[in-house]
Amino acid sequence: MIVLAGMAVLTIGVEARGSAVPISYTAQDRSVSASSSATGFPRGGTNPAPVTNQQSESQQASGDGDFSGNVAAQSSVGPQSAGASSSAVQQSSLDDTGFSASGSVTADSVFGTDGPANSSGSSIFQITFNVAQAEAYVFTANLTSITDPGEPGATTASITLTKAKGAKNNIITPITSVSLSNYTVDGTLKPGNYTFTLDTQATSNDENFDSVNYSISLVDGSADTSAGGLAPAPVGGGSSAVPLPSSGLNAAAMLSVLGIAGLARRWIRASML
């Protein structure tokens, strides 16, 4: 059985105060893609040759309006044979006071009695925007992932904010971790062009389930440092380890169950050999 559900949580929330300066967008690349492939021998068929089933789907935003991307791919050779599945979802918007995106990527594979099988899900959110005059901003992030410990790198995330282009112009320290809790950065954007990128991916090629679930936003304003608000961190990095809300904890618990289920599939398969 191929698991299509699951998530690793990336949450970015923002609270803004004060008078906002309009942001203008000059370029955007927002897309989702999913692919899967499985090879095996169909059961009950008359053809002894192995069969490969490959599927793929992608969507891309056509302009600066709201983007609702939702794709999935599933490859199945037959009962007890190899199979793979993946999905990618992105809901994003570009406003004159900031931008936001949320969604998920998942990947799963099973070998059955043959194989191989592999899949991948990807979400890309990259925008270039202009700030006409100095403006305060606040950015926070949470990231949690589920992956097979035996396959490091199966889930990845990359978050960057740079002025113009080039790593030497980083506004915040680039984020590559897939485990982050209530990361908060605030500061001032000077007049000029900026590029923000969020790239998340999940892959599976060893009978494992991997996923990332995310929600991001960056908004004009200052961090709310009152009780219950967001704690500011220095520009160029900083984090505040605040527990996830109950919904995030429930999601993490569900992901742990899915990870255990993936290991159980391997044990069952090994006992059948």
SS (H, E, C) 9-45: EEECCCCCCCCCCCEEEEEEEEEEEEEEEEEECCCCC
Write the CB contacts of 148 (distance below 8 Å, at least 6 apart in sequence): 154, 204, 206, 208, 209, 210, 259, 262, 263
Backbone conformation region of residue 112, classed left if phi is above 0, alpha if psi is from -120 to 50, else beta: left
Report the candidate in 207, 111, 93 with the shortest Cα–Cα distance to residue 154.
207
- Mean per-residue pLDDT, 241-256: 37
- 190-222 pLDDT, tens digit each: 999 999 999 999 999 878 899 998 888 898 875
CA atoms within 13 A of residue 216's CA, in its CB half-sphere? 30
**Integer Cα distance of 101 and 175 in angstroms:** 16
In whole angstroms, what is the distance from residue 205 CA to residue 203 CA?
Answer: 7
pTM equals: 0.75
Strand 180-189 relative to strand 117-131, pairing? unpaired
Confidence of residue 180 (pLDDT cuts 50, 70, 90): confident
State the distance between the two ends of the chain, measured CA to CA, in whole angstroms. 18
> What pLDDT does 19 receive?
52
Mean per-residue pLDDT for 236-252?
Answer: 35
Contact at 8 Å (CB) between 86 and 72? Answer: yes
- Tens digits of residue pLDDT in 24-36: 999 999 999 999 9
| Whether residue 1 has pLDDT greater than 80 | no
Average pLDDT over all residues of the chain: 75
**Total residues belonging to the chain:** 273
Mean pLDDT of 138-159: 82
Whole-number pLDDT of residue 222: 56
Q: Is the pLDDT of residue 68 over 90?
A: yes
Omega of the bond leading into 116 within 30 degrees of 0 (cis): yes
- Residue 251 identity: A
Contact 231, 225 (CB under 8 A): yes
> Is the backbone of residue 18 left (phi > 0), alpha (psi -120 to 50) or beta?
left
Could you tell me which of 113, 210, 192 has the C-alpha nearest to residue 152?
210
| Beta-sheet pairing, 83-95 with 155-163 | unpaired
